[in-house]
Amino acid sequence: MYLPVLLSFKNKKVAIFGCGEVGKRRAKKLLMAGAEVDIYSKDFDEEILNLSKEKKINLKYIDINKVSDDDLKNIIKNYDFIVTAVNEEINDRIKKIALKLNKFINSSTEEINFIIPACVVKDDVIFSIYTKGKSPLVAKEIRKIVENYLDNYDLDLIFKFRAFLKDNIKDHKKRKEILNKLFSNERFREELLELIKKWENDYTKGRL
């Protein structure tokens, strides 16, 4: 059983084995999260070569088929997280070594301990979806639904309004009732926005 968590990858060292489409997707996500990424592969395409010039990423030319288990162990022990995206045989081999070293490992094989799910990031909202690999299409469709839902709301307004309510209304049930109106009543949101704009205009012109 997995427990969903959010991790900071800042200054965390990640080794990615394989640089096909899966490996590149993983690398881009982890780079965005602030990880220090090394990619091990026998070749790299132009896209990843250009990315290595601009981002915090190192390319390690290696034919993993010719690397012994001891050498793989010496590589893996230097990293916090391991991602393997080569083929089933090599993925399983790297996974077993990583688990023995008590590392976080992401792979297409079973019995891994590190999942990178599909996710939606909008403003301060992070929503992730994981189907245990059974249906990437379902995960994609759920992501679209969440993105469309979040696009219909001014999240920054809602966050600020909630903070305002916490400072001024001590009854949490009353706060919840008002926030429910904000989510469900379009007219309420429009009138609140007009009020905020009026206040900002008066403040700018020194009327407050």
The confidence score (pLDDT) of residue 130 equals: 81
Would the pLDDT of 12 be above 70?
yes
Tens-digit pLDDT profile for residues 116-161:
887 888 777 888 888 776 777 777 788 887 777 777 666 666 677 7
13-116 belongs to which CATH class? alpha beta
The confidence score (pLDDT) of residue 123 equals: 73
Mean pLDDT along residues 2-14: 89
The confidence score (pLDDT) of residue 154 equals: 65
The confidence score (pLDDT) of residue 35 equals: 93
**Burial profile 171-182: b = 16 or more Cβ within 10 angstroms, e = fewer:** eeeebeeeeeeb
- pTM: predicted TM-score of the whole model, two decimal places: 0.72
Confidence of residue 202 (pLDDT cuts 50, 70, 90): low
Tens-digit pLDDT profile for residues 16-34:
999 999 999 999 999 988 9
Residue matched to tokens 């429910």: 180
E strand segments, 18-152? 36-41, 57-61, 81-84, 104-107, 118-122, 125-129
Tens-digit pLDDT profile for residues 68-114:
999 999 999 999 999 999 999 999 999 999 999 999 999 988 789 89
The confidence score (pLDDT) of residue 208 equals: 52
Q: What is the distance of C-alpha 59 from the center of its chain?
A: 22
Task: Give me the residues paired with residue 60 across strands.
Answer: 40
Mean pLDDT along residues 170-193: 74
